[in-house]
Amino acid sequence: MTAVTSAAFDGGFRQPVFDAQTTFRAIMDALARPGRRVICRPLATAPAPMSPLMAAVALTLVDPETPVWLDGALAASADVRGWFAFQTGAPMVDQPADAAFAFVVDPARMPPLSAFAQGTPEYPDRSTTLVVSAESVEDTGAVFTGPGIETSVLFDTRPAIPAFAEQWQANRALFPRGVDLLFVAADAIVGLPRSSRLRTG
Amino acid sequence: MYVAVKGGERAIENAHRLLADERRGDRTLPSITLEQIAGQLSLAVDRVMAEGSLFDRDLAALAVKQARGDLIEAIFLIRAYRTTLPRFGATHPIETAAMRVRRRISATFKDLPGGQLLGPTFDYTHRLLDPDLAGDPDLPAPALRPELPTAMPRVTDLLGNEGLIEADPAETGEPVGDLTREPLSFPADRDLRLQGLARGDEGYLLALAYSTQRGYGRTHPFVGEIRMGEVEVEIDVPELGFSVVIGRITVTECQMVNQFKGSAKAPPAFTRGYGLAFGHQERKAMSMALVDRSLRAGELGEDRTAPAQDEEFVLSHCDNVQSTGFVEHLKLPHYVDFQAELDLVRRMRTEVAEKREAAE
Amino acid sequence: MNALPPTAATVAHDTPAYNFAYLDEQTKRMIRRAILKGIAIPGYQVPFASREMPMPYGWGTGGVQVTAAVLGPDDVLKVIDQGADDTTNAVAIRGFFRKTAGVRTTTHTAEATVIQTRHRIPEAPLAEHQILVYQVPIPEPLRFLEPRETETRTMHALEEYGLMHVKLYEDIARHGHIATTYAYPVKVDGRYIMDPSPTPKFDNPKMHRSKALQLFGAGREKRIYAIPPHTDVVSLDFEDHPFKVQTFAQPCALCAAEGVYLDEVLLDDKGGRMFVCSDTDNCEERRAAGHRGALAGDDISRKDRS
């Protein structure tokens, strides 16, 4: 671990009110239309390995009321931790199950989806929203159906989350409990809410 | 031809002008000043501060004036303003044992350290209209103590020293809840219940408190103590590394001493009901203390049978800004839904008539 | 610590500077998070820390908070109450956003990107880019069967909806009809029973697989819920009593539209009445396109009722 540099204090929204609104509409659109690439210009920056668009998503959703969990690659950077502390004031948690939001830049090594907060039967909203880096989003691969999807949608992200199909089916089986995913590419967001069904066979 | 109702914007604007006109009233009379409201209608101002959850006499006076004396409307104005204010931090709990006491009475002991101090009260006034008050009569100066007492032990502390009353709940270090920042869910902890009651409608709490006295969840209360006066408000300033007093506020505190509880393990002891309100709000603090104690029924192993013991019922309906909004919303247009009902009632009446005809 | 609460003097003399769309950013974030949960769990009521708004509870504070949280400077806002743009409450809310957000407003359904509504869904089908925000008084569809939140929350958790079916069936036994004509319960994506807000049941089919995102805000009750686009929304019914919408015996007296929801207007105290479109924009557009109803003929167009 290294000391915090001035990078922690850079990269916030230039126009906090309007930039947050623009980014939120993209996030909302992405969750309301699962599997669709919603284009979103990054309006913020953060220290590596956090991407500018992931930074914008964090600034839009996270604040002192939302416990945040960072994956190993992010947590290893004192600048990233400093950036979160300075820009959002969000409390950091060690256990994925305590997080309202989780940020993942290394999907290949992330904990299973079941390790995050799943909500309760009475309050299924008390679950983790995962914001996951995607180098690329392809409209091939797995087929999803469900709310927000007119017929069906194909999509796949790289790098992949290990055993994603099995994990997603287990997540969907918990409905209305379960986690929601936001995949963040360089200039686009793809949402995968817990309501999406993975078509098999 | 039928002309639909138009011009809503102009109608609204004119209605508001009419309102302003009637609020001002007779222009030959001077406009009432905020100082007059804050100084001479001080209990109205206190109620607006208490239920508006904002200690600011000037703003409360302004709200009373703007609301033409409609206190629920004034409370609403204060609440809508309060919600836009940034939060700088939380104060330390106020120390009512260190209150500069202006009134203090106990119904449980004839005399006690610090004594009984009547202070400014309606109690024992003969409720006879005073025609002199139509004018501005000269008043004899009241006799005041040279120095207000600043450290007066609370009756509950005196009882507590002997273990006769349940101890105050231990400081847990947990942050105190705030139902204006987090939606209330049930069961609610006592901090949230007390916050809800402190903001709650005085009339509603009074009626609930009264119902407990008449047997709907009886708790056998004694007024251990009511005290009113000024307390210091302290806040930590992280930049300085210590806390500073940011001001003084007037509060009324009521500690009810209620029927004892005991078990094989714990010897019998009296139980507490607590009420606290901004300003001089004795009726409110007493009602709050009675209802607080009633809401502790579950915790104290009592049957929950009465409305005042039902926290979901009490807390869901105690906020007069909410209740007045929803009751008054019935005057908004509902003709779309009424049309749907009209259609069904007409259809069902036709069917009944047809059946009757067929039977004849 | 220099920003202590203002005194009456500063309030009286300063024009308060409110944030874009009134709400502060922290509040918007909180509402936005609730909206996202609502979208992810269609039909589930997400608790949110509803703020006190400068308008009364029960008058659209939930809808206003949702609209304020989604609205941006490029949006075009339409506000309707009872289907009409010119009802007093719609006028007041539209004015609120014009003042606090400076957004463009419209009465044309097709032009709007965000439509806030009370009691109606526009007649024209909504498009992909549109968001419909409902003002909701009582979000809990089971509330009139079971007043306790603690109970209804468990019923939703266990998907225990028998009570609702019993209630509807009792109606049939007593009246020969399901006696619910508005706020008619629906099931969303086969899971949650949801209150569509007090829209007439006539509008229920418009929610089913709508292309627009539908957001519901209940300010006093502190709940937000949502229906994503293309989501199944099914009105509860029985095989022997299938769900049916209201029909009107006559077309709109102004634009001759059929298959739309009509308001009954009393013309005199001798039983004279007419039926006109509840959706004022739809009616005006039809008339602009040359449609004429029985009481909109050119020959009587100059005769004012007053």
> Is C40 within 8 Å of A180 when comparing Cβ atoms?
yes
pLDDT band at B145 (very low <50, low <70, confident <90, very high): confident
Q: Which residues of C touch B336 (CB under 8 A)?
A: 82-83, 119-120, 182, 199-200, 261, 263, 278
If asked whether residues B46 and B111 sit together in one domain, one would say no
The string of pLDDT tens digits covering residues A101-123 is 999 999 999 999 999 999 999 99
CB A97 within 8 A of CB A86: no
> Is B2 within 8 Å of C201 when comparing Cβ atoms?
no
Q: Which residue among the candidates C38, C43, C83, C217 is catalytic per the annotation?
A: C43
The string of pLDDT tens digits covering residues B172-203 is 888 889 999 888 999 999 999 999 999 999 99
- E strand or H helix at B340: helix B335-359
Nearest 5°: the CA angle A28, A29, A31 is 65
C58 flagged as catalytic: no
Between CA C211 and CA C127 the distance in angstroms is 5
If asked whether residues B155 and B293 sit together in one domain, one would say yes
Residues shown for chain B: 360
C283 flagged as catalytic: yes
- Please check whether residue B109 lies inside any domain of the structure: yes
For helices A16-32 and C25-40, give the axis angle rounded to 10 degrees.
Answer: 0
Between CA A196 and CA A33 the distance in angstroms is 10
Q: What is the model's pLDDT at position C40?
A: 98
Buried b (16+ CB within 10 A) or exposed e, C250-269: ebbbbbbbeebbbbebeeee
Q: What is the model's pLDDT at position A2?
A: 53
Q: What is the model's pLDDT at position C296?
A: 79
If asked whether residues B307 and B198 sit together in one domain, one would say yes
> Is C59 within 8 Å of B329 when comparing Cβ atoms?
yes
pLDDT band at B322 (very low <50, low <70, confident <90, very high): very high
Buried b (16+ CB within 10 A) or exposed e, B64-87: bbebeeebbbbbbbbbbbbbbeee
The string of pLDDT tens digits covering residues B93-133 is 999 999 999 999 999 999 888 889 999 999 999 999 999 99
Structural domain count of chain B: 2
The yes/no answer on whether domain C25-235 falls in CATH 3.40.50.11310 is yes
CB B213 within 8 A of CB B286: no
What mean pLDDT comes out for the span C87-101? 92
Between CA A132 and CA A111 the distance in angstroms is 12
Q: What are phi and psi of B300, to 5 degrees?
A: -95, 10
Residues facing residue A145 across a β-bridge: A197
Between CA C52 and CA C216 the distance in angstroms is 17
Residue C303 has pLDDT above 70, yes or no: no
The string of pLDDT tens digits covering residues C234-291 is 999 999 899 999 899 999 999 999 999 999 999 999 988 999 999 999 999 999 999 9
Residue B169 has pLDDT above 90, yes or no: no
Q: What is the model's pLDDT at position C297?
A: 59
Residue B144, token pair as written in the block: 């005041």
Residue C300 has pLDDT above 60, yes or no: no
CB A13 within 8 A of CB A43: yes
pLDDT band at B7 (very low <50, low <70, confident <90, very high): low
If asked whether residues B151 and B235 sit together in one domain, one would say yes
Q: Is B331 exposed, middle or buried (0-12, 13-18, 19+ CB in 10 A)?
A: exposed
Q: What is the model's pLDDT at position C3?
A: 39
Q: Which CATH architecture has domain A9-199?
A: 3-Layer(aba) Sandwich (3.40)
> Is C230 within 8 Å of A60 when comparing Cβ atoms?
no
- Please check whether residue B9 lies inside any domain of the structure: no
Q: List the domain boundaries for chain A.
A: 9-199
C277 flagged as catalytic: yes
Residues facing residue C277 across a β-bridge: C262
What is the rounded (10 degree) CA torsion for A74, A80, A81, A84? Answer: -120
- Please check whether residue B273 lies inside any domain of the structure: yes
Could you say which DSSP state residue A127 is in?
B
- Quote the domain boundaries for residue B31: 15-82
C43 flagged as catalytic: yes
Number of H helices, E strands in chain C: 8, 12
The string of pLDDT tens digits covering residues C52-90 is 899 999 899 999 999 999 999 999 999 999 999 988 899
The string of pLDDT tens digits covering residues C137-175 is 999 999 989 999 999 999 999 999 999 999 888 888 888
In this structure, the number of other CB atoms found within 10 A of the CB of residue A110 comes to 20
- Left (φ > 0), alpha (ψ -120 to 50) or beta: where does C148 sit? beta
- Please check whether residue B190 lies inside any domain of the structure: yes
The string of pLDDT tens digits covering residues A64-84 is 999 999 999 999 999 999 999
The string of pLDDT tens digits covering residues B216-268 is 998 889 999 999 999 999 998 877 888 999 999 999 999 999 987 777 777 88
Nearest CA in chain A to C214: A32
For helices A52-61 and C25-40, give the axis angle rounded to 10 degrees.
Answer: 100
Please give the share of chain C, as a percent, with pLDDT higher than 90. Answer: 78
Q: Of A169, A152, A161, which Cα lies nearest the Cα of A131?
A: A161
> Is C246 within 8 Å of B246 when comparing Cβ atoms?
no
At C216 the three-state DSSP class reads: strand
Report the amino acid identity of residue B297.
A
Q: Which residues of A touch C140 (CB under 8 A)?
A: none
At C135 the three-state DSSP class reads: strand
Q: What is the model's pLDDT at position C2?
A: 37
C216 has a chain A CB within 8 A of its CB: no
Residue that the structure tokens 């006499």 belong to: B57
Report the amino acid identity of residue A123.
Y
Residue A130, token pair as written in the block: 């995962």
Nearest CA in chain B to C279: B336
If asked whether residues B44 and B158 sit together in one domain, one would say no
Complex ipTM: 0.97
C259 flagged as catalytic: no
The string of pLDDT tens digits covering residues A41-53 is 999 999 999 999 9
CB pairs under 8 A between B and C: 178
Residue C8 has pLDDT above 60, yes or no: no
The string of pLDDT tens digits covering residues A123-149 is 999 999 999 999 988 888 889 999 999
User: Cα–Cα distances in Å, from C87 out to B18, B269, C133?
Assistant: 20, 61, 17
Between CA B202 and CA B47 the distance in angstroms is 8
Residue A121, token pair as written in the block: 């039967």
Q: What are phi and psi of C270, to 5 degrees?
A: -115, 25
Of C49, C59, C175, which has the smallest distance from its Cβ to B181's Cβ? C49
Please give the share of chain C, as a percent, with pLDDT higher than 70. Answer: 91
The contacts of residue A101 (CB under 8 Å, 6+ apart) are A58, A61, A62, A66, A67, A68, A69, A90, A128, A129, A130, A131
C179 has a chain A CB within 8 A of its CB: no
Mean pLDDT of chain B: 92
Residue C302 has pLDDT above 80, yes or no: no
What mean pLDDT comes out for the span B54-77? 97
- Please check whether residue B329 lies inside any domain of the structure: no
Q: What is the model's pLDDT at position C1?
A: 34
A33 has a chain C CB within 8 A of its CB: yes
- Please check whether residue B62 lies inside any domain of the structure: yes
Between CA B166 and CA A145 the distance in angstroms is 59
Higher pLDDT, A11 or B263: A11
The contacts of residue A170 (CB under 8 Å, 6+ apart) are A113, A114
Looking at the complex, report in whole angstroms how far the Cα of residue B219 sits from the nearest Cα belonging to chain C.
25
At B225 the three-state DSSP class reads: strand
Residues shown for chain C: 306
Cis peptide before A159 (omega within 30 of 0): yes
Q: What is the model's pLDDT at position C304?
A: 42
Of C26, C73, C230, which has the smallest distance from its Cβ to A148's Cβ? C230
Residue C18 has pLDDT above 80, yes or no: no
> Is B335 within 8 Å of C1 when comparing Cβ atoms?
no
Strand segments (E) across chain A: 38-39, 68-70, 101-104, 129-133, 136-145, 153-158, 180-184, 188-192, 197-199
CB B351 within 8 A of CB B344: no
Q: Where in chain C is the domain with CATH 3.40.50.11310?
A: 25-235
Q: Which residues of C touch A33 (CB under 8 A)?
A: 228-229
What mean pLDDT comes out for the span B325-351? 92
- Please check whether residue B280 lies inside any domain of the structure: yes
Q: Of B51, B316, B325, which Cα lies nearest the Cα of B193?
A: B316
